[in-house]
Each structure stands twice: as C-alpha cells, then as structure tokens.
Amino acid sequence: MIDDLKTVNPENRMTPTHIILGNARDSHLPDKLADLAFTSPPYLNNYDYADRARLETYFSGYASTWGDITDKVRSRLIMSATTQVNRNVFKVSDIISPQLKACEPCLAGAIQESVTELSQRRLVKGGRKSYDILVGQYFNDMAAVLADTYRLLKPKGKFVLILGDSAPYGVHIPTENWLGRIGCGLGFSTFTVQQLRTRGDKWRGNTQRHHVALQESLLTLYK
C-alpha cells in the first residue's frame, strides 16, 4: 500500500505527505502538531482486521499460521473483535482502565454495567462470544487514542471520526456519544454527532438478530 501511495505524483499533492507505521494509542508524534485529525477507527462490530489482511500476510510470508498473525498483528490492534480476546488476561468485573475511570467516572460506570450485562447474556448464547470484554477494552483502547490525538492537536484543532454504534447480543452501545463524552473528559471542549446513514436494515426479518436501529455517524471533537 505504501509503495502504491508513493506512485502518486508529488506535483498533484496539495501538501507534503508522510506515511507513518505506528500505533494510534501512542503515536510518538510531537505535541500540537496538527490542525485536524481524521480517521475511520475500528468499529465495535466484531470485525477482525488481522484476518482481513490474511491473504497479504500469508502470501508475502510475513505470517503463516493463525498464531503467527495473532502475535504479530491481532494482539497489537485496537480491540474490535472477539477473536482478539484472551479471557485469562482481563478481570471482567473491573475491566475499565484507570485512564478512562479518571476522565469520565460516570460513563466508566455505565460501560462497566454493559460489560456485566453482556457477561450474563453470553452464558445463555450458543457461541458464548466475549462481547463483554470486547466492549470494555474497545473503550479503554479508544480512550488512549483520543488522549494521544488531543495531545498532538493544536489549540482549536478538530478530531473527526467516522463511526457506527452497535448492539452485541441486543445491548445497545452508543459508541459515538460515549466516545464524545470520553473526549470531553480528556480535555476536548465539546463534540457533535452527525448521522450519515442507518445501518443493519438488511437483517430485518432475521429472528436471530437484535432489532435495535443502528447508524453510522460523523463524530467531531473540538479542542
């Protein structure tokens, strides 16, 4: 992908570009670097990005087994799929990180309540999916991303995210609103949510799924 991007004619670029191989939770970029941060982060929708790149990672020889991809990729990504969960590593009854508890104690309690509810619901589901840990750790990871991005934005800078909400095992998680509140707890002055489209309609009639109306939105946080 990086090689493809290098072929874009530099004369057509409006500004200089730099591609950085890094981690959005801890970017190591300098403070107050940017006017705008824009991203489509992993959604809380059980999509395994390590698996999505399996064709490329196997074909290039970077990895050759599931365990290999887990060590080299899956375990390092923001948690967004139950395939990333190792239940031995987390304490389900107290999963919220100190960073998230400190910046938004009230919301940290609500997230913990959803985690606890999901830990009950999974026991009566065939797949027993670890949505409980997925939800808790997703917000821990995204709090670290919001904190690092706040640090590297200039005063009055904006952080724009495209996101969807979700309803694992029928428990509605208002992701965009909760991330907006976490952002404000970390120092952003305010946030807006603009709905782009509704989601999940194609599943209507599938009795195995929840009936919660979902949406995809643009979340904007203002420093």
Ligand X SMILES: C[S@@+](CC[C@H](N)C(=O)[O-])C[C@H]1O[C@@H](n2cnc3c(N)ncnc32)[C@H](O)[C@@H]1O
For residues 103 and 182, the answer to whether their CB atoms sit within 8 Å is yes
Structure tokens belonging to residue 35: 């006017």
Beta bridge partners of 198: 215
Asked if 25 interacts with ligand X (CB under 6 A), we say yes
Q: How far is the CB of 149 from ligand X (least distance, A)?
A: 11
How far apart are CB 77 and ligand X at their closest, in Å?
A: 4
111 binds ligand X (CB under 6 A): no
Shortest distance (Å) from residue 108 CB to ligand X: 21
Specify whether the CB–CB gap between 142 and 41 falls below 8 A: yes
Ramachandran category for residue 16: left, alpha or beta (phi over 0 → left; psi -120 to 50 → alpha): beta
Residue 51 CB, shortest distance to ligand X, in Å, is 11
Calpha distance 63→54 (Å, rounded): 8
Q: Which residue shows structure tokens 């730099």?
A: 18
Task: Give the range of 41-49, 99-107, 122-130, 184-192 binding ligand X by CB under 6 A.
Answer: 41-49
* Sites for ligand X among residues 44-103 (CB under 6 A): 49, 77-78
Distance of closest approach, residue 124 Cβ to ligand X, in angstroms? 31
Residue type, 63: A
Residue 153 engages ligand X in binding (rule: CB under 6 A): no
The reply to whether 164 sits near ligand X by the rule CB under 6 A is no
Residue 40 binds to ligand X (criterion: CB under 6 A): yes
The answer to whether residue 24 forms part of the interface with ligand X (CB under 6 A) is: yes
List, as one string, the DSSP characters of 165-209: -B-GGG--B-HHHHHHHHHHHTT--EEEEEEEEEE-GGGTT-TTS
Judged by beta carbon, residue 81 or residue 108, the one nearer ligand X is 81
- Whether residue 139 contacts residue 100, with contact meaning beta carbons closer than 8 Å, is answered with yes
The piece of 38-46, 89-97, 173-181, 209-217 that touches ligand X (CB under 6 A) is: 38-46
In whole angstroms, the minimum distance from the beta carbon of 213 to ligand X comes to 21
Between β-strands 34-39 and 190-199, what pairing exists: parallel, antiparallel or unpaired? unpaired
Q: How many residues bind ligand X (CB under 6 A)?
A: 9
Rg (CA), the chain: 19
Q: Considering only the stretches 18-26, 103-111, 182-190, 195-203, report the one whose residues sit in contact with ligand X under the rule CB under 6 A.
A: 18-26
Identify which of residues 40 and 192 has a Cβ nearer to ligand X in the complex.
Answer: 40
Which residues in this chain contact ligand X in the complex, by CB under 6 A? 23-25, 40-42, 49, 77-78
